[in-house]
Amino acid sequence: MPVTEADFLLQGRVDNYRERLYQLLIALDRLIRDQLEAANREKLGGKGRINYEARPPRWTLAWKNKRRNYEVNLMAFAQGGAWVFHGRMGLDRPFRNLKSVRERDEAALRQEIVDQVATDETIL
């Protein structure tokens, strides 16, 4: 499904969820930054740099190894009352910040980042 301007302005059918989606994005931002920082420490020895772009919400962990540049990208967009985060490895899962699924979401996100770090270094 294509991402449109309305997804980031939180208009249209998600208009009733504006405040809840905003709070979810704050929680998602914290979660993703924590996971990227952990991968940076554990896998890259702190050599990476984490960037955030607001529109669309996009997180990038970039590092240089053996004169080559690598990066892991994760993006989120509003979809029906939840945020969906997506990475290059094909992870596409709603994030609702519920205790019952938060551990699963954290594990999936962590695995996405670790897999992408390994894939980038292998391919390039």
**89/19 Cα distance (integer angstroms):** 30
Better-predicted residue by pLDDT, 102 or 9: 102
Give the pLDDT confidence score for residue 59 in this predicted structure: 93
Q: What is the pLDDT of residue 9?
A: 62
Domain boundaries, the chain: 5-123
pLDDT category at 49 given cuts 50, 70, 90 is: very high
pTM for the full model? 0.76
Q: What is the predicted pLDDT for the residue at 2?
A: 55
What pLDDT, in 10s, does the model give residues 54-98? 888 899 999 988 888 888 899 888 776 678 888 877 777 778 888
